[in-house]
A and B are shown apart, each in its own frame.
Chain A
Amino acid sequence: MSMDRREFLKLAGLTCIGIGVGGAQLLVRSRIASSEYAPAAEGLQANRWAMVIDLRKFRTEEDYDKLIKACHYIHNVPSFPDKYHEVKWLWKEDFEHSFPEQKNRYLPEGIEKKPVLLLCNHCSNAPCVRVCPTKATFKLSNGITAQDYHRCIGCRFCMAACPYGARSFNWVDPRPYIKEVNPEFPTRTPGVVEKCNFCVERLSEGLRPACVEASEGKILFGDLRDEGSEVRRYLAENFSMRRKPELGTEPAVFYIIGGGEEHV
């Protein structure tokens, strides 16, 4: 079984060919990567989808839970009793922990503990997209950060990279934990990552995102590049905040916190 030099050269030669072919592939493919993927041509269109969440209008726990339920039903998001296996697209977290860098003990009463609705920010410079080794998470030209469950290898690099804890991994088979399956949307397999998709499938049918619809005006959704859009007008008139803007990710989810009103 002794391997002599000739065999070795053969091996080395094959390796070189392999690297050559791989390299050529790489050059071709990376050019494709730099062009953005186009979303569906039908339905609602925008240059840059964005969301404005007006927390002043959220008064009861039900105001939040209704939206979470709508989102999680539509997208077949499982609910695990075990916190370690948790999958969530839209959820609530108190202000203090949603904006941990805004430490301020003297905020109006109730603000610190006020729930904030959290979801993927569909960042313009999304770190999750930057790190994914397979382009399973990628940007659409309308600003949405999309996820391909069939390409994802489950390396979870994107989870380490997302500064907003927006991504969930399917640690075990999610299907037994989906209360009621929506046949319109795929369920996921174990071993892939998922997150909010800004209801890209509804937009292509001309519908607004499920949470926006269920919120009855508490959440606005529109084109950030269109000066006349509702979101732009709202942002121009109300002071808004984004999560961790200092990281340069350019989140597309804006929060209007408000002050001394009554809080949940």
Chain B
Amino acid sequence: MFEKALQGRPKYWLWILFLLGITGAGFLVYLQQLKIGLGITGMSRDVSWGFYISQFTFLVGVAASAVMLVIPYYLHDYKKFSKIVILGEFLAVSAVLMCILFIFVDMGQPMRIFNVLLHPTPNSILFWDSVVLTGYLILNIVIGWTTLEADRKEVPPPQWVKPLIYLSVPWAVSIHTVTAFIYAGLPGRPFWMTAIMAARFLASAFASGPAFLIILALLIRKLTKFDPGKEAIQAIAKIVAYAMYANFFFFLLEVFTALYSNIPGHMASFQYLFAGLDGHGKLVPLMWLSVILAIFALAMLVFPSVRANETTLAITCVAVFISLWIDKGFGLVIGGFVPNPFERVTEYWPTLPETVISVAVWAFGFLVLTMLYKVAVSVREAQGPGESLH
């Protein structure tokens, strides 16, 4: 089945080459980072995690969101999702791969990565995160590939995948919960130490991931002969709407607790992110852009007619995605480090090499995504319209 990824029109190959080029450029810069050290990034003693770990955090959410297609289809027998569940699963695969790469490029001593397995430390959340992420990656590759293979042969998928599919549901929740626990259990970082962190992570994941899926589904319809289905897209749009509202609500809960309690430590990071602190405010414009995009998206999502129109829906989904990317792929991690434990402000901004490496990891993820989607779409195109058999 994989050979399908190797057959395509010139445009397909051009796109692949483009992604390979960026990945290659990033790899060269990464070699530089290996030689010099993480000093080529904008991170510091005070802001010791930056863009890499933020991207990782954001992408765990994108990966987890596959479950929003799996639940309706496999648990509630919502037939309209039969042909696109695979898009969610393959998106999860490429997102987890990006997560793993982002952790890898963030490590000071990447050659020692197996120390995490050689000296397993159950009291470290990072240990558990590596366990659940690897598990989730394997689950989605196995499930996605097997069901697609079955579809291609027009037979029902084998019985043994069913339990794996059911397992993948709580597993998806676990990856984002464990990722939230990396932050939420640290004393002395009041911005992160909030019980609602995991819930908020899931809400924002279930908005950003499905929003991205809608954009991808619309693109697929445009570029190939496979139509993911209008109704399926509309159903996902509803999921985005609910999740986005839940996420915004959770965010307001955080703001209330921090501001009404009036505890300086709890207010400080919010002040830094949205108003600036001690004359430092590099992130302020970005954070407000995120808020404005979120409000815009929320306003659009309430109207069924806006969702029904695929052009406005696409615009809304882009707004959702960018807004949540800024919120979680930037503000959340940096905000937790500012101010530092001495209530002093050290600012962070990614450097050029750091940006190139990050973009390259994204490009690699898109490369995997493109090839996997190519396989899925080829199978679907051969199948013609109608529901699949599982």
List residues of A whose CB falls within 8 A of some B CB: 1-5, 8, 11-12, 15, 19, 22, 25-26, 29-30, 33, 83-87, 93, 97-98, 100-101, 103, 127, 130-136, 151-157, 159-165, 168-173, 189-193, 244, 247-249
Q: Does B119 contact A (CB under 8 A)?
A: yes
12 contacts between A and B (CB under 8 A): A2-B149, A3-B145, A22-B117, A22-B120, A25-B117, A84-B44, A130-B123, A154-B38, A155-B107, A157-B126, A165-B340, A171-B44
Chain B residues whose CB sits within 8 angstroms of the CB of A133 once the complex forms = 115-116, 121, 124, 126-127, 130
Q: Does B146 lie within 8 Å of A5, measured CB to CB? A: yes
Known: A163-B188, A163-B341. A135 touches B121 (CB 8 A): yes
Q: Does A169 lie within 8 Å of B125, measured CB to CB? A: no
The segment from B22-30, B45-53, B254-262 found at the interface with A is B45-53
Q: How far is the CA of A124 from the CA of B350 in the complex (A)?
A: 36
Chain A residue at minimal CB-CB distance from B186: A161
Known: A153-B113, A155-B107, A165-B340. A131 touches B124 (CB 8 A): yes
Chain A residue at minimal CB-CB distance from B124: A133
Per-residue contact bits, chain B 166-203, to A (CB 8 Å; 1 contact, 0 not): 00000000000000001100111100000000000000
Chain A residues whose CB sits within 8 angstroms of the CB of B39 once the complex forms = 84-85, 171-172, 190
Known: A133-B121, A171-B38. A160 touches B189 (CB 8 A): yes
Chain B residues whose CB sits within 8 angstroms of the CB of A131 once the complex forms = 123-126, 186
Q: Does B8 contact A (CB under 8 A)?
A: no
Q: Does A153 lie within 8 Å of B120, measured CB to CB? A: no
Chain A residues whose CB sits within 8 angstroms of the CB of B118 once the complex forms = 134
Q: Does A134 lie within 8 Å of B115, measured CB to CB? A: yes
Q: Does B112 contact A (CB under 8 A)?
A: yes
Q: Does A156 lie within 8 Å of B49, measured CB to CB? A: yes
Nearest CB in chain A: distance from B230 CB, A = 32
Q: Does A153 lie within 8 Å of B124, measured CB to CB? A: no
Q: Does B43 lie within 8 Å of A171, measured CB to CB? A: yes
Nearest CB in chain B: distance from A22 CB, A = 6
Q: Does B311 contact A (CB under 8 A)?
A: no
Q: Does A8 lie within 8 Å of B145, measured CB to CB? A: yes
Q: How far is the CA of A59 from the CA of B195 in the complex (A)?
A: 45
Q: Does A155 lie within 8 Å of B343, measured CB to CB? A: no
Q: Does B382 contact A (CB under 8 A)?
A: no
